[in-house]
Structure 1
Amino acid sequence: MSWAALTSGGKDSILAVQKAIDAGMQVTHLVTVVPENTESYMFHSANLKAVPVMAARCGAEYVEIRSKGVKEQEVEDLEKGLADLGVEGIIVGAIESEYQRSRVAAVCDRLGLKLFAPLWKMDPLTLMHEVASRLDAVIVVCAADGLGDNVLGKKIDEKLIDVLLAVHKSRRIHLAGEGGEYESLVLNAPCFSEPIHCSEMKFSYEGLRGEVMIERFW
């Protein structure tokens, strides 16, 4: 049975891919929705140029779906992009977002596809420890009070989890960033044939939002 994984290259979706592979599932496609709107309700937009390289590292086919990122219409764009892939199931990295999970589940139902969401309702702290132990992931966007130079561009390890825990307790952010408080990028995982390499990280801030911009991946 072949599976396509929805991924922006972040920790949750890549950990979901890894768990699928651990379970003996055949991940044949990495699918990225590229939204024109950086405030998309469903999809991330930062450093998506890394995903084709990730697909190559995983021995999977890269599929890009373009979307204007308009609420609800972007779900239709996703459905059209998945309709002719020839896979039997979709993998997602949703943790607690019913908005995301329910819409992908509805798309799968309409297309007759199975849904695999191995992180769904996983304890956020347990998830973060697994990310730290299994993946080389860095935070590339922060968008919440209390997050800035203390996390941006830094690897998710046990020390950084302590920083996020402190902000979680004082500002009530979601520890795993499920509310959009931060976004991550995976540079290595057990399912990669070798790590992702990247050009220099450049930092940009606008209000509460900080972003790491990377020009090239290989």
Structure 2
Amino acid sequence: MEPVYAALTSGGKDSILAIQLALDEGLEVGYIVCVRPENPDSYMFHSSNLDAVHLIAERGGMEYVEIQTHGRKEEELIDLKRGLSELRIDGIIAGAIESAYQYERVSEIARSLSLHVFSPLWQKDPEWIMDEVVRRLDAIIVVCAADGLTEDILGAHIDAKLVERLKQLSRRNRIHIAGEGGEYETLALNAPFYSAPIRWSEENRRINAGRSELILNGLW
């Protein structure tokens, strides 16, 4: 039997691109695993628009698994390990780019469960990653939390023009153009492995000092 992988994703561009690259490599992605933290400031997991993830799993023909966690630092890793231990898998897929905190902890969990790790974006050139996002995905910004990223960017599709804006901001404000430092979060509305794009019927904006969020409702 072919090895079966579980993909860790919040629906954002990096983890969805990692899933697509895994499929391109011929890996069998049997599960999409979403960790839902109660704490919006989780060190490991995003919390925005997670209701989209089960739709992504459906569109990819994958089984959806949700793991609940309080989102407390380190404790949330115990919840992740427990959830993964209940699955019949051989490996996990992660979209980490440069965060040693995330990469090392996912790798440690994988080692403890005797799982392989497929992390195709790890230490790749951020500009290459953003070019792949533009070329292969339809992703929008749903959270902005950095100087220079104003609320008008919420809902913006990541295209070549937006990437150039991010590069200019990076040069001026030293932000990571792929948002690896938490500068922004995304939702991938479409990818080659989706059978149909993610849509919604209404949206709200939650604007706060330091963090603004686009909340999508009526997802389908």
TM-score of the alignment, normalized to the shorter chain, above 0.5: yes
The residue type paired with residue 125 of structure 2 is D
Identity of aligned residues (%): 54
What is the aligned partner in structure 1 of residue 83 from structure 2?
81
Q: Does 1:63 align with 2:65?
A: yes
Query: How far off its partner does 1:197 sit?
Result: 1.3
Distance 1:149 1:162 in 2: 18
Secondary structure in 1 matching 2:127: helix
Distance 2:201 2:44 in 1: 28
- Stretches of structure 2 lacking an aligned partner (at least 5 in a row): none
Aligned pair partner of 1:160 in 157, 162, 165: 162
Secondary structure in 1 matching 2:30: strand
- Stretches of structure 1 lacking an aligned partner (at least 5 in a row): none
Tell me the C-alpha RMSD between the 2 structures: 0.7
What is the aligned partner in structure 2 of residue 50 from structure 1?
52
The residue type paired with residue 128 of structure 1 is M
Query: How far off its partner does 1:149 sit?
Result: 3.1
Query: How far off its partner does 1:196 sit?
Result: 1.1
Query: How far off its partner does 1:150 sit?
Result: 4.3
Query: How far off its partner does 1:59 sit?
Result: 0.2
Distance 1:3 1:173 in 2: 32
What is the aligned partner in structure 1 of residue 28 from structure 2?
26
Residue by residue, what CA displacement relative to the aligned partner does 1:82-106 show, whole Å, maximum 9, x if unpaired? 0010010000000000000000000
Q: Is contact 1:49–1:216 with CA below 8 Å preserved after alignment?
A: no
What is the aligned partner in structure 2 of residue 93 from structure 1?
95
Which one is further off, 29-38 or 191-200? 191-200
Q: Is contact 1:105–1:115 with CA below 8 Å preserved after alignment?
A: yes
Query: How far off its partner does 1:120 sit?
Result: 0.3
Query: How far off its partner does 1:217 sit?
Result: 1.2
Task: Count residues with an aligned counterpart.
Answer: 218
Distance 1:88 1:199 in 2: 38
Aligned pair partner of 2:143 in 141, 144, 147: 141
Secondary structure in 1 matching 2:212: strand
Q: Is contact 1:150–1:163 with CA below 8 Å preserved after alignment?
A: no
Which one is further off, 198-207 or 52-61? 198-207
Residues 188/15 of structure 1: CA separation in 2 closer, same or farther (3 Å cut) = same
Secondary structure in 1 matching 2:155: coil
Distance 1:203 1:137 in 2: 18
Residue by residue, what CA displacement relative to the aligned partner does 1:31-55 show, whole Å, maximum 9, x if unpaired? 0000000000000000000000000
Residue by residue, what CA displacement relative to the aligned partner does 1:158-189 show, whole Å, maximum 9, x if unpaired? 01001111111110001100000000000000
The residue type paired with residue 11 of structure 2 is G
Distance 2:152 2:179 in 1: 15
Distance 1:134 1:20 in 2: 14
Aligned pair partner of 1:189 in 175, 187, 191: 191
